[in-house]
Amino acid sequence: MSIRPFRDIKRKKTKTISIGNVKVGGDSPITVQSMTNTLTTDIKNTVNQINQLSEAGADIVRVSCPDQESSFALKNIVKNINVPLVADVHFHYKRAIEAAESGAKCLRINPGNIGSISRVHEILKAAKDNDCSIRVGVNAGSLEKDILEKYKEPCPEALVESAIRNIKILEDKDFFNFKISVKSSDVFLSVKAYKALSEITDYPLHLGITEAGSLIPGSVKSSIGLGMLLMDGIGDTIRVSLSADPVEEVKVGYEILKSLNLRSRGVKIISCPSCARQAFQVIDTVNILEKRLAHIKTPITLSIIGCVVNGPGEASQTDIGVTGGGKGNNMIYIKGVPDHKISSENMINNIVALVEEKSKEISKL
């Protein structure tokens, strides 16, 4: 069931770039990214993690290339994955060149810490020769020395000035297949920098609150920062940076986009926090359903409400819904219409079957 959003978000129209077979910017869907935390030289585990991220919904995956062995390892990694790979490179320009030649579809560089402009030019040539895009990654923690001296501390103006300086380096060499980020661990700094940058450039923006923290604090922090920007139509691709399993970054990223009706993937569960009125254990039910329905990729809405106070109303807005009833007789709704009653002990299996059936129906359309 399609729910009309209260406020339609009008995205800013940006240039479209290609990261392998994935389009970023323009009218393309906002993509979700993550980054591996394995040693890139450990090819087997890196490939396994990339494929796990892809299965969770990652459109693009980044790996770190701190040394020659890592950049050369990309040759074998790209043969065993189905998503475009971004090589994360700092300081040494040769790693970026090697990564482009080894199959990376994007290079994440901060031109300010690469060294001389001539070295940046060599990276751009390698990127052009290998059909590789670039992310200009400006970070509050690694601003150019002269910009930091000018502003005394990281601030929105400093991040934007760094971004514009680096954009010009690329444009002067007729390189336009790039996106930009201006990240900070400070939500306010990041939001102000992205908003200011969005006003003066139409290159696609990679959103993120860098080093956001562990799962819960980092998810909240990222949701606030990214949500503020996305609601204003700013952002073309996102990465939620968490000190947690990278798969969780993908999950949180999708939840942010789904909550704003910007992407649809998998089962969207609307559930109550539970209280003394609940006719079944709502929290346990939701936890079990999240795991058992994780394999569903089709966009489906499901409401799990423990009592009749808000249950029928929420069910009227979802594809499938359940409302707790007296004596374990819970009502199942299909497309907002009461369909049948089910006991609490049989409810989970019934809901899983209904969702899987709905998924198959949608897939045939």
Alpha helix segments (H runs only) across the chain: 43-56, 68-77, 93-101, 117-129, 145-151, 156-172, 187-200, 215-231, 246-259, 282-292, 311-315, 344-364
Q: Say which range, 53-67, 314-328, 329-343, has the weakest mean pLDDT.
A: 314-328
- Exposed, middle or buried: residue 116 (CB in 10 Å: 0-12, 13-18, 19+)? exposed
Q: Can you tell me the mean pLDDT for 136-160? A: 91
pLDDT in tens, 91-135: 889 999 999 999 999 999 886 677 788 898 999 999 999 999 999
Residue 8 pLDDT level (bands cut at 50, 70, 90): confident
Distances (CA, A) of 213 to 25, 152, 220, 223: 27, 26, 10, 12
Question: 17-259, superfamily in CATH?
Answer: Dihydropteroate synthase-like (3.20.20.20)
pLDDT of residue 7: 61
Return residue ranges of the chain for CATH 3.30.413.10: 267-364
Return residue ranges of the chain for CATH 3.20.20.20: 17-259
Distance CA 147, CA 129 (A): 32
Distance CA 212, CA 239 (A): 11
Mean pLDDT over the full length of the chain: 93
Most confident of 8-12, 39-43, 359-363: 39-43
Q: Say which range, 176-190, 201-215, 317-331, has the weakest mean pLDDT.
A: 317-331
Rounded to the nearest 5 degrees, what angle is found at the Cα of 213, between the Cα atoms of 267 and 155? 115
267-364: CATH number: 3.30.413.10
